[in-house]
Structure 1
Amino acid sequence: MMPVPEYHLHDVVEMKKPHACGANAWGIMRLGADIKLNCTACNRTIMLTRFNFNKRLKKIIKSNATQEEG
């Protein structure tokens, strides 16, 4: 079984497919059953279910974990 990646609010993530504007970096704006993402290039906002987000996530570019813990 593959481990679930740790992501936090305001992390910047890379998805498997780029956005229509050409950017591939997204900022996490909301976490819950649905995850709200904001395109870093054009500021378009989308919402994905947690299942679809985990399936489409490629990697975490910038983590915000240290700021949340402290």
Structure 2
Amino acid sequence: MEKKYDLNNLVEMKKAHPCGTNQFQIVRMGADIKIRCTNCDRTIMMPRRDFDKRLKKVII
């Protein structure tokens, strides 16, 4: 099963950010994916493989 996501999608991750939310917006895609926390606007960059493992669902 392949999960479909694209730039600027809101996604829900399995683990919450330290600020308390688990919703992020995808801001950059490539070999690495950069996501921004919707609560505190901090960014996280991770390899696509790790992102696919940690993704729970695509919201929008």
Q: Normalised by the shorter chain, which TM-score bucket? A: over 0.9
Whole-angstrom CA distance in 1 between matches of 2:46 and 2:3? 16
Whole-angstrom CA distance in 2 between matches of 1:31 and 1:4? 16
Whole-angstrom CA distance in 1 between matches of 2:58 and 2:4? 9
Give the aligned partner of residue 41 of structure 2: 43
1:41 deviation in Å? 0.2
- Count, aligned residues: 60
Normalising by structure 2, what TM-score? 0.97
Give the aligned partner of residue 25 of structure 1: 23
Structure 1 or 2: more helix by fraction: 1
The SS at the match of 1:52 is helix
1:45 deviation in Å? 0.3
Residue 19 of structure 1 aligns with an amino acid whose one-letter code is H
Residue 16 of structure 1 aligns with an amino acid whose one-letter code is K
Whole-angstrom CA distance in 2 between matches of 1:44 and 1:56? 17
The runs of at least 4 consecutive aligned structure 1 residues that moved more than 2 Å come to none
Unaligned runs of 5+ residues in structure 2 are: none
Residue 17 of structure 1 aligns with an amino acid whose one-letter code is K
1:25 deviation in Å? 0.4
Unaligned runs of 5+ residues in structure 1 are: 63-70
Whole-angstrom CA distance in 1 between matches of 2:9 and 2:55? 12
